[in-house]
């Protein structure tokens, strides 16, 4: 049924962009059930998830351990939670990266998906995203790739941010340009559409 749906959409002259979430899974958060054997933990305990102990804190990253600063043996062993959903998928791990690349390849080749929108792309390492773009563009040179260049909380990796996508074959949302045009979704502020404000930010958004 899924392939027939995509074919029907294509026949109508439309493209299919698939929303993908590779930044987290259903694993539990922080210190609770860290060794539970379900989802990816059932394959290799702790391997597929960032913890404060399995990845060094980057220059621009954070120690996200719930037990930080406490005389507590669990410090450095709990899940990082930059997704706000209890964990972070470790995209930079060899098998984590393979899973992402293989699944994207499957959707692009078997279902002829025209593009992918990445949820919380900020939690995906730049190398994995670059490799994904290269592989997918070999399948379809016109494939569309873009995502959210932010996180939902602190992360121990150098988060993929606006500007880091340049020359890499994928795009990102420009939330600075968006907010300059119509204001922030988190409050009332000056914006271009309502009162002509923030013209400089609008110009920067247009020029890149």
Active site residues: 119, 148
DSSP alpha helices (H): ranges in the chain? 2-11, 94-110, 126-139, 175-182, 192-195, 199-207
In this structure, are strands 17-20 and 115-118 parallel, antiparallel, or unpaired? parallel
Burial class (CB in 10 A: 0-12, 13-18, 19+), 141: exposed
Burial class (CB in 10 A: 0-12, 13-18, 19+), 106: exposed
Residue 25, CA atoms < 13 Å, CB-side half-sphere:
15
Report residue 116 as tokens.
Answer: 């992918």
């Amino acid at each position: 049924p899924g392939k027939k749906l995509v074919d029907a959409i294509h026949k109508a002259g439309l493209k299919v962009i698939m929303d993908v979430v590779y930044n987290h899974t259903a694993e539990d958060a922080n210190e609770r059930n860290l060794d539970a054997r379900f989802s990816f933990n059932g394959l290799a305990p702790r391997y597929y998830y960032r913890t404060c102990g399995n990845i060094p804190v980057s220059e621009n990253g954070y120690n996200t351990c719930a037990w930080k600063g406490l005389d507590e043996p669990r410090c450095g062993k709990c899940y990082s939670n930059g997704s706000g959903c209890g964990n972070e998928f470790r995209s930079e791990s060899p098998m984590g990266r393979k899973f992402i690349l293989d699944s994207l390849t499957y959707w692009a080749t078997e279902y002829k998906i025209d593009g992918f929108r990445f949820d919380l792309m900020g939690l995906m390492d730049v190398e994995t995203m670059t490799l994904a773009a290269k592989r997918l563009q070999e399948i379809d040179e016109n494939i569309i790739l873009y995502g959210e260049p932010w996180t939902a909380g602190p992360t121990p990796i150098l988060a993929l941010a606006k500007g880091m996508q340049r020359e890499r074959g994928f795009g990102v949302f420009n939330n600075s340009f968006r907010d300059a045009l119509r204001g922030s979704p988190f409050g009332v502020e000056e914006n271009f559409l309502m009162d002509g404000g923030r013209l400089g930010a609008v110009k920067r958004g247009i020029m890149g």
